[in-house]
A and B are shown apart, each in its own frame.
Chain A
Amino acid sequence: MRENRVTRRKALAIAGGAGAAGLAGCASGGRSGDSGQSDGSNSATLWAWNDPGLSPIREEQAKEFEKKHGLDGVNWQYYPFDNYLAKATSAIPAGNAPDSLALSVLWVPRFGDKGVAVNLEEHGFSPDDYVTAARNNSSYDGTLWSVPWYADCRLLCINKQMFEQAGLEVPDPSHRPSWDEFANWVEELGKEHGTGYSMAAGEGLDAFVLSNGSGYLTEDGSKAAINNAAAVEAAEFLQPMVVEDEHVLARTSGTTHVEDFLSGQAPMLYAGSWHYPRLRDSGIDWQYNPHPGGPRIEKSHTWSAGVYYSVPSRGGADQEIGRKWLEYIDSMEVQKNVTRAMGGFPGRKDAYETDAFKQYLDDHPKLKVVAQEMENAVAFPSHPDVGKMWTAVHTQAEAIFQGTDPKSALDKAAEEINGLL
């Protein structure tokens, strides 16, 4: 009889080997190409974060792009904003990168810094084509890594009817209120309606800091500026209105501040230019005004963000199709109609000079102040860790609006920012 003995040790060794082989098999899956060559299919895969308001125009663009380049299909994949970056960051090393993906302005520098975006200047794109804020947001370290689909800015939005009810004169839409004027409005509106103004806590503070000539970083980007005198002055200006009078609502979650305005609770809103379609359809008699300007500078500044498209330089993206998509987004047919399509403003300078754009502004005069303020909007700091800076400042903004001393809170934010530089 043949001796066929398998000991426990051998059995465990066989099982272990089988397990390891299985895991190795899993690890080698996915698209392997890092060469930027097509995988043979004639279709495009594009990623963006979920925004139901933008989906219809994206689908339209996909059809147009597909037709223009004779593609077999354009596949949009949407992910929730909160998980979008994590998804993109894990897909690229795993070899599952899309051919092009939308990036927030907080992410462009990281992609540029890590070398996972295609250098667009090597492919005929020029940073000089874009308005200042869009140019800075789409670049990092002097190189263009993304193309702006649209750019935006932040403004003050007022409910005209509630202004009149409080006995206030509705200002001309182009009028930039001073802080004192704004404080008076808040007080009068607060007396009449209980609330004067609603804002997102973090960005609301940012806007007052920027409108007083400060920011996250000094001009040369070498150290934090968020705790300088102008920034502290902004925080000290806002804090009593939130904490003591409670006429300003500093919201910490999502779009609650927008809901406050739309529900008629707040007569003034810290609004984005991209809120235009919702405001237009709200049935409220409203208007945009420039964000209040601080005592230290003559004009107000707010952040400019938007949606920026990039092409992954590795992870199996078909770079040729990705670049074609960027060329399409950068084309005048898209840029001159971007405001009509979704309420954003063109990233390209020359789109502002087109008849189509000018006509649209004439037909929608409420947007003229947006065009005016686009020139004053500023880009986010161009640093790979700008997202962490944003979190640090906004956390301290929440602390300020819970009653923490503004100077010590902003010192803490500055310390965190300096730690990142």
Chain B
Amino acid sequence: MAQSQSLRRIRRQLTGYVPDFATASSEDDLSWYLIVFPKVLLFSVVLLVPFVGAFWISLHQWEPLATQHPFVGLDNYVALFRDPIFWDALVNTAGYSLALIAIDVPIALGLALLLNMNLRGTKFYSAAIFLPVVTSWVVVSLIWSWLYNPQYGLINAALGTVGLPQPDWLQSSKTALASIALMSIWKHVGFNMVIFLAGLKGIPDDFYEAAIIDGANRWQRFRYITLPLLKPTSFFVVVVTLIFSFRLYTQVYVMTQGGPVHSTYSIVFYFWEQGFQQFNMGYASAIAVVLFLIVFGLSIVQQRTWGDTVEY
């Protein structure tokens, strides 16, 4: 059997590096444990232990400078669900997330389709679109803060020359979150585009050739070949974008500090503000736990509703 041969090969490779008892018997076979051990250890130290620690702290009134941390049970969670700022942050984060999934993903797919046509200058455009992805969020946020400046920003200067209104992009609670979302889409779209491009490259040309012989037009080829075969890629892109969007923090920190009037508070920003500005570590940990549950729950829902038919 192929699997047995693989196992035997791995055992042979491990011989001399690990004790005999680890590879000798198939019943007490520890070779797989040795292979996964570094990853499990890393996962435990970096994620599992901190998560359990965060949950533990969330059950306490925990201030870093205090010598006592009284146990408060679920009080932090009760307070959280009664906290209007938390709900503002939740709505803002959901809105931002929706904007990214509804705008970023289709644009990325469109760009990938264009670049997959192997037109002239494809490499240049690929690099240009991907460049913001590898640029620091802080740098990009600062540059866009200047672009958005209502008095001497480039965007309002351009709008002014054609007689259009010049909004207070980051100073108004009506436009601040949308401004951040717009900048984030510009920065992130290249990442999704590359993933889609890789997915498109994986679709065999035979399918398109057969469809052309059958008389399918461009739209039909896209609708009945490209989209279904891109489903695994699309699933990955949507899940990754969702997780990414729920981590909204750096842009808010640099561009608006959550303002004006909490209009750009995100869950992660509120977590940071409570934990590292107000020093309510117990409350901040409760926010972290709730954020984890939201992202985990959404990922499960997506997996159940979409992922079942996905084949990798």
Binding site for B on A (CB under 8 A): 4-8, 11-12, 15, 19, 22-23, 82-83, 85-86, 89-90, 92-93, 110-111, 114, 116, 201, 251-253, 260, 263, 265, 387-388, 391, 395-396, 398-399, 401-402, 404
Q: Which residue of A lies closest to B170 (CB)?
A: A253
Whether the Cβ atoms of A89 and B279 lie closer than 8 Å is yes
Q: Which of B16-38 contact A (CB under 8 A)?
A: 19-22, 25, 28, 30, 33, 37
Q: Which of B48-87 contact A (CB under 8 A)?
A: 49, 63-66
Contact A5 B21 (CB under 8 A): yes
Contact A86 B276 (CB under 8 A): yes
When distances are taken between beta carbons in the complex, the residues of chain A under 8 Å from B172 are: 402
Query: Would A90 and B28 be within 8 Å (CB), given that A5-B21, A252-B171, A399-B261 are in contact?
Result: no
How many B residues are at the interface, by size bracket?
35 or more
Q: Is the CB of B41 within 8 A of A86?
A: no
- Given known pairs A5-B28, A19-B44, A398-B259, the reply for A114 and B65 (CB within 8 Å) is yes
Closest chain A residue to B20 by CB distance? A4
Please, how many angstroms separate the alpha-carbon atoms of A339 and B52 in the complex? 52
A111-B65, A396-B261 provided; 19 other pairs, C-beta below 8 A?
A4-B19, A5-B28, A6-B30, A8-B33, A12-B33, A15-B37, A19-B45, A85-B276, A86-B276, A89-B65, A89-B279, A110-B65, A251-B171, A252-B257, A391-B277, A391-B278, A395-B259, A398-B260, A404-B261
Chain B residues with Cβ below 8 Å from A387 are 277-278
Partner of A11, one of B33, B170, B253, B255: B33
CB distance from B308 to the nearest CB of A (A): 32
B151 touches A (CB below 8 Å):
yes
- The majority secondary structure among interface residues of chain A is helix
Residues on B close to A: CB < 8 A? Answer: 19-22, 25, 28, 30, 33, 37, 40-41, 44-45, 49, 63-66, 145, 151-152, 170-173, 253, 255-257, 259-262, 276-279
**CA A83 to CA B272, docked complex, whole Å:** 10
Q: What residues of B have a CB within 8 angstroms of the CB of A395 in the complex?
A: 259, 261-262
Contact A86 B277 (CB under 8 A): yes
Q: B10 CB to closest chain A CB, in angstroms?
A: 17
Residue in A closest to B150 when the chains form the complex, CB atoms? A249
A71 to chain B, nearest CB (A): 28
Would A252 and B260 be within 8 Å (CB), given that A89-B64, A89-B65 are in contact? yes
Q: A11-B33, A395-B261, A398-B259 are in contact. Are A92 and B277 (CB under 8 A)?
A: no
Question: Can you report 26 A-B residue pairs in the complex whose CB atoms are below 8 A from each other?
Answer: A4-B20, A5-B28, A6-B28, A7-B28, A8-B33, A11-B30, A12-B33, A19-B44, A23-B45, A82-B277, A83-B276, A85-B276, A86-B279, A89-B64, A90-B64, A92-B64, A92-B65, A253-B256, A253-B257, A253-B259, A395-B259, A396-B261, A398-B173, A398-B260, A399-B261, A402-B172
Shortest C-beta distance, A254 to chain B (Å), equals 9
Q: Are B277 and A85 in contact (CB under 8 A)?
A: yes
Query: What B residues does A22 contact at CB under 8 A?
Result: 45
Q: Is the CB of B261 within 8 A of A398?
A: yes
CA distance in complex: A387, B63 (Å): 15
Assembled-state Cα–Cα distance A92/B41 (Å): 29
Q: How far does the alpha carbon of A220 sit from the alpha carbon of B296 in the complex, in Å?
A: 49
When A11-B33, A89-B279 are in contact, do A263 and B64 touch as well, CB less than 8 Å?
Answer: no
Closest to A93 in B: B64
Q: How far is the CB of A412 from chain B (nearest CB, A)?
A: 10
A38 shortest CB reach to chain B, Å: 23
The residue on B at minimum CB distance from A87 is B276
Complex alpha-carbon distance, A253 and B262, angstroms = 13
Shortest CB–CB separation between residue A111 and chain B, in angstroms?
A: 8
Please give, as numbers and ranges, the residues of chain A lying within 8 Å of B262 by CB-CB distance.
395
Complex CA–CA separation, A401 to B37 (angstroms): 57
- Chain A residues with CB under 8 A of B276: 83, 85-86
B41's contact among A8, A19, A110, A114, by CB below 8 Å, is which?
A19
A6 pairs with B44, CB closer than 8 A: no
| B52 smallest CB distance to A (angstroms) | 12
**A396 neighbours in B (Cβ, 8 Å):** 261
Asked if A402 meets B260 with Cβ closer than 8 Å, knowing A85-B277, A253-B170, the reply is yes
CA distance A110 to B255 in the complex (A): 28
Contacts of A11 in B (CB 8 A): 30, 33
In the assembled complex, the Cα of A89 lies from the Cα of B40 at a distance in Å of 32
B65, chain A: closest CB distance, angstroms? 4
Known interface pairs A6-B28, A110-B65; A252-B278 also in contact (CB < 8 Å)? no
Residues of B within 8 A of A82 (CB): 253, 277
Q: Which of A5, A111, A260 is close to B151, meaning CB atoms less than 8 Å apart? A: A260
Residue of A nearest to B276 (CB): A86
B141 CB to nearest A CB, Å: 12
CB of A15 within 8 A of CB of B41, answer yes
Q: Would you call B259 and A252 a contact (CB within 8 A)?
A: yes
Contacting residues, chain B, for A110 (C-beta < 8 A): 65
Q: Please give, as numbers and ranges, the residues of chain B lying within 8 Å of A388 by CB-CB distance.
A: 278
B170 lies within 8 A of A4 (CB) = no
Which residues of chain A are within 8 angstroms of B20 by Cβ–Cβ distance? Answer: 4
